[in-house]
Amino acid sequence: MRPGPCLGLGASLQKLGTQVDSKEHLQLATARLPKGLDTTGFINSLYQWASTLTSSGQNMPFALPIKADKLDNGFQMSLLRIKEGRPMSVGDIVANVEQVDEKGDVLFVRFFEGPASGIDRQGPAPSNSRERLQKNAEALIDVPIIMQTMKVAIQKAVAQNKGV
């Protein structure tokens, strides 16, 4: 998997090139949301998708347990491993709706390292943070499945919440 700047959802997605979060991350996708979209409903629809993803049967089994948390303007999916006797994130996919000047509402999907990232790493971590993030994302085989199914979830959430 090679995370890139865009999911490829057609005209509604834009390669915005806007880095709005200063914490080191990989930008997995950006989607410019249509004007008039009920963003609260959109966020709730996406969170519902994320929280039921592992129980829908469509994508099971995932290699790692996944925990979904609701955020004020999106959600976070944590891929979990056991470290020090408790579940800890090895990587987080965070989706947030943010206001971007002259672009309107934009959905940003980012990958962040979790506290247990590299738990199974053979050898030293790359010293370059971008390369390390890329390697960590590539090592989590569930990330491509999540991103593929997220594309459809975004499209459905937009359709359900347009012009409300």
Helix (H, G, I), strand (E, B) or coil at 60: coil
* Contact (CB, 8 A) for 47 and 70: yes
The alpha carbon of residue 133 and the mean position of all alpha carbons in its chain are separated, in whole angstroms, by 14
**How many beta carbons lie within 10 A of that of residue 138, not counting itself?**
13
State pLDDT tens for residues 61-71. 788 889 999 99
Give the chain's radius of gyration (CA, Å).
16
Read off the pTM. 0.81
State pLDDT tens for residues 92-148. 999 999 999 888 999 999 999 988 887 777 778 788 888 888 888 888 989 998 999
| Alpha carbon separation from 20 to 9, 40, 50, 143 (Å, rounded) | 21, 20, 23, 22
Alpha carbon distance 159, 37 (integer Å): 9
| Alpha carbon separation from 27 to 47, 56, 57, 118 (Å, rounded) | 19, 26, 28, 19
Tokens 């890329």 belong to 134
